[in-house]
């Protein structure tokens, strides 16, 4: 867009060589976009070399009067961000850009000009053209720097999510659960309940239908467990086919009714995998406590009750 605009601008100013140069650059971009639209890295490299070469040739035309050195200095910074870290060649590209910048500076100092016959027009408009080039460079740097911070924030949020969640199910992971329980140890807690879920005969599902079917079962159960009535409940993938549900401010009877309702929902669900319809049940062990500093003991008691339920029929809540 800049080159197309400049092509018209310089034509109107009577600077024909500059207009032709910008037309050629516009055509160049059109060809590169069509040829390498699926290869961003290659497109960036071609763009970078076009900009610094165009800037150098333009200053040869103008005797260094149009401040195209701003483009080169800006691109030396921009190319480092635009190319991914795996591209070690970007340091070489920056070095080439520095050489171009020095060359443009020498053109300015030596007042080298290929078309001296256009010197009066260049002299008359060099201030405005130079200011326009400075503005374009500053806008580019501002845009790229904000894009960088946006991507850094997005990457930080993704990293935080990945460190706190199980990526398959989307539930919180064991690390996050232990972190919040350690953090909450100093808080007063009237009653809380911790329940441990285990999918019944999960190994049989994997052996019969394959691990992808097992993954589908895990996702279905996770979705049901995660769609709780209370927003303050914390659902965790504890490991393998085991899940933990932390229910603050919840006594034994209320927790038992809630867990029975969850188990009913899981029993009523059907996991469809290919032509197969898989029925799923869970066994749950639960324990209620009054002191968060003792939550690890509560987990052990809930785990003992879970295994009692597994040995005595499965598909039940044991309190």
Enumerate the active-site residues.
241
Listed as own residue / partner, the contacts of 263-271 with beta carbons closer than 8 Å and 24 or more positions apart are 263/315, 263/316, 263/317, 265/224, 266/221, 266/224, 267/315, 269/220, 269/224, 271/213, 271/216, 271/217, 271/220
* Calpha distance 134→142 (Å, rounded): 12
Pairing of strands 234-239, 172-173: parallel
Closest CA to 111 of 54, 61, 57: 61
Q: How far is CA 66 from CA 8, 122, 160, in A?
A: 17, 8, 47
Q: Distance between CA 223 and CA 166 in Å, rounded?
A: 13
If we measure between CA atoms, which residue out of 202, 101, 235, 83 comes closest to residue 148? 83
Following DSSP, what letter does each residue of 295-307 receive, concatenated? HHHHHHHHHHHHH
Tokens 């034509």 belong to residue = 11
Name the strand (E) or helix (H) holding 287.
strand 282-289
Residues in CB range of 272: below 8 A, 6 or more apart: 216, 278
The DSSP bridge pattern shows strands 270-273 and 242-248 to be unpaired
**Cα(292)–Cα(189) distance, rounded to whole angstroms?**
7
């Amino acid at each position: 867009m800049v080159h197309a605009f400049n092509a018209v601008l310089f034509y109107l100013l009577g600077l024909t060589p500059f207009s032709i140069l910008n037309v050629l650059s516009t055509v160049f971009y059109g060809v590169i976009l069509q040829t390498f639209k699926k290869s961003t890295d290659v497109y960036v490299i071609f763009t970078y070399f076009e900009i610094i070469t165009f800037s150098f040739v333009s200053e040869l035309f103008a005797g260094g009067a149009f401040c195209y050195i701003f483009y080169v200095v800006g691109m030396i910074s921009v190319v480092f961000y635009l190319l991914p870290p795996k591209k070690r060649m970007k340091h070489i590209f920056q070095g080439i850009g520095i050489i171009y910048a020095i060359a443009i500076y020498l053109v300015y100092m030596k007042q080298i000009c290929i078309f001296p016959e256009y010197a009066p027009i260049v002299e008359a408009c060099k201030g405005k053209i130079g200011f326009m080039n400075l503005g374009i460079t500053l806008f580019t740097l501002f845009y790229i720097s904000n894009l960088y911070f946006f991507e850094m924030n997005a990457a930080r949020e993704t990293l935080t999510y990945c460190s706190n969640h199980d990526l398959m199910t989307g539930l919180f992971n064991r690390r996050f659960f232990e972190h919040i329980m350690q953090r909450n140890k100093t808080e007063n807690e009237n009653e809380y309940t911790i329940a441990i879920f285990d999918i019944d005969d999960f190994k049989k599902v994997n052996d019969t239908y394959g691990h992808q079917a097992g993954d589908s079962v895990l996702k279905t159960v996770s979705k049901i467990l995660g769609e709780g009535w209370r927003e303050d409940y914390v659902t965790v993938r504890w490991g393998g086919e085991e899940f933990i549900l932390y229910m603050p401010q919840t006594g034994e009877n209320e927790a038992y009714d809630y867990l029975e309702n969850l188990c009913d929902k899981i029993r009523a669900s059907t996991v469809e995998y290919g032509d197969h319809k898989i029925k799923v049940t869970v066994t749950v062990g639960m324990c209620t406590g009054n002191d968060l500093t003792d939550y690890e003991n509560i987990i052990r008691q809930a785990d003992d009750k879970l295994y009692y339920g597994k040995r005595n029929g499965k598909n039940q809540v044991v309190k």
